[in-house]
Chain A
Amino acid sequence: MIHLRFARAFQMGIKSLRLHPLRSMLTALSVVCGVGAVIAMLAIGEGASFRAQEQFRSLGSNTIVIESIKRAVTKESQETNPIDRYGLTRLDLVQIHETIPDVELSVPVRDFRKDVWHKSRRYTDGKIVGTEYFFADVQNYKLARGRWICATDGVRGRLNQVVVLGSDVCAKLFPLEDPLGQTVSIGTKTFTVVGVMANQGGVVERKKLNLADLSKNVYMPLSTLSAYFGNIEVVRGSGTETRELVELKQIIARVADLEQVLPRAGAITHLLEKNHPEGDFRVVVPLKEIRQAQESARNFTLLLFSIGAVSLLVGGIGIMNIMLATVTERTREIGIRRALGARKIHIVMQFLIETLVLTTLGGLIGVLFGVCSPWWVPVIFRGQIAIVRVMTIVPSFLISAGVGILFGLYPAWRAANMDPIEALRHEWRAIEPGVVAWASCPWFSVTGETPVLRIGE
């Protein structure tokens, strides 16, 4: 049974620590840094993870993108067949839609390069994209102004000549004017602008996945595109000219159930491999990238957490160091207390509580530092964000207390197991601060110091 009341012991601990205010403060500081680092590092990891996920999510986590890719064209095949025909077909689209379960929407996309004009202004990087009205919905793509192409826009016989501009196209062609209701010309045809797209996030991520930059697109109904421009695209290379027939450049399939995205992507690949043994397609699954981003963010967090944990460990070793010095320095006090009736457990508790006072005070300040990391992290590490999860705060604080117990136990145990008679003979003295570090290193013997015996008794 420990008779010492805890509050009193705590108060006594503070009293003893105030014997060496600077030393105590420096010791607590090591815990401040340790705990602060743990929380801040976890917050930075969390921030990185959040950002990565957020950006890939803008690609549409429940979509599967299937793209046509050009096969290598051999010389003979080019000679025998002047039109290079490859890629996805309408049949693929129908089959995907009909045979793959959970595919709730499948959007065909066809595009080609052509200059877009507005009066004398010319946009050359652009792509003319023909698609269905639900493309924007599937791509999670937002309008900045006007409207998106609608179901009636492309109906045959009523060919509304409308386009929706990507943000970059709009910025270049209409730097000052209001584009809505204005016309643009593509080839010999003229179109009315009915909408402008917003800047879509995930630009870097799309590039990473080799997907086109949406801001450079000019959208129109697929039926309009086919009716006005036909199916054959003339691709001019350096000195060569090939005619290509690609029925569909892209099919975007939306899967109802997020859990089914990966298996359905596998099924689609399997289906297309049968239709296209020559392999002129590829399947891109943003979810896979999201998962990968999560995975690497988790590893990043783990790495950062280890850094924090190591600094906490270093803090703990520092504390043990100081407490060993303190115990040596206060050998006489320990002897007196033992003579006056302190049990070993009393001495253990006394020093353990002192260590705990140091580490919990340090821990509290460290928690404050860590919790403030969303404010100071972006200032110190530019471009980095920090997100503090509430569930990391209490464990971090408890860990700091745990460090106190772990690293305080040995010095306290050592204090309690001193021979009271020897301890009473020990000279009163304060060790110089510089000496403390060496005298108390666990791997240097503290007991190696010779207790000073009083002579002439």
Chain B
Amino acid sequence: MEVVVELVDVYKHYLMGGQTVRALDGVSLQFRRGDYYAVMGPSGSGKSTLLNLLGCLDRPTQGQYLLGGTDVSTLDDDQLSGVRSSRLGFVFQSFNLIPQLTVVENIEIPLIYQGVSPRQARARAHEMAAMVGLSERLEHRPTQLSGGQQQRVAIARALTNDPLVILADEPTGNLDSVTQHEIMDMFDVMSRDGKTIILVTHEDDVAHRARHVLHLADGKIVRIETSEDRRRRMGLAGGTA
């Protein structure tokens, strides 16, 4: 499968009170189409920084980011906005729906910013709402929905522009365990449909839904393993404890 995401020796440094914080410290990685990665690591290890970079919300201090074959590390602000609206899908921990907009209006946002005509955008949003099972709720406000329903709207919104990569930052962090499974099932479906998914989490059962688990520590990749390997390793570790 073709490589859709490639980081080549990426550094992200922050200056904090005269000190350099190496949030990412020489990260190189490749994700192929259809890959499903869980990113794990202790707090402050650089997970959010990595996701922001991959999401074109930020630019690396040094290094190259190739998204779908094009180097996006040198694009300007407007071009990055264009990349976000056409090639990326975001799912956030706190859903991040816009409260004054209805379900359909929330779903069509990326299309509107892409310049798709309002009529087409509306049609596509209806399609996506149906896909996540919210056809009955098109005109509802986010506050009228449960947490799980809100996250489903967010997933529909992330998929509406048919993105190259879906980036999720703890998508189940605010959900109870039943809803968590429901949402993770949706990620499974997306993965089966061939979407490339990168998901930050620190819950093992969420991580185990992914095909690979990437471990970060102090801004460095310490290990990439398949989730079966990890499960086995965890099981072993559990056994010896």
Residues of A within 8 A of B (CB): 1, 3-5, 8, 15-16, 18-19, 332-333, 335-346, 420-421, 424, 428, 454-457
Contacts and interface: CB of A to CB of B under 8 A. Distances in A.
Contacts of B169: 457
A342 B97 CA distance: 15
Contacts of B115: 1, 3
B85 interface: yes
Interface of B: 43, 47-48, 52, 55, 57-58, 77-78, 81-82, 84-86, 90, 92-94, 96-101, 109-110, 112-115, 118, 157, 161, 169-170, 200
Given A340-B90, A340-B109, A341-B82, 8 more contacts: A18-B100, A335-B96, A339-B84, A341-B110, A344-B77, A344-B81, A428-B94, A456-B43
Contacts of B100: 15-16, 18-19
Given A336-B96, A420-B57, A456-B43, A342 B170 contact: no
A107 to B, nearest CB: 78
12 contacts: A1-B115, A15-B101, A19-B100, A336-B98, A336-B109, A338-B81, A340-B85, A340-B157, A341-B84, A341-B110, A342-B113, A457-B169
Contacts of B113: 3-4, 337, 340-343, 346
A343 B78 contact: yes
B40 to A, nearest CB: 12
Contact of B118 (A5, A336, A455): A5
B96 A341 contact: no
A333 B92 CA distance: 13
B162 to A, nearest CB: 13
Contacts of A4: 112-113
Contacts of B99: 19, 333, 428
A456 B174 CA distance: 12
Closest 3 CB pairs of A and B: A341-B85, A3-B115, A341-B113
B147 to A, nearest CB: 14
Contacts of B48: 457
Nearest to B117: A5
A333 B112 contact: no
A456 B43 CA distance: 6
A424 B81 contact: no
A3 B114 contact: yes
B57 A341 contact: no
Contacts of B112: 3-4, 8
A424 B92 contact: yes
B35 to A, nearest CB: 22
Contacts of A456: 43
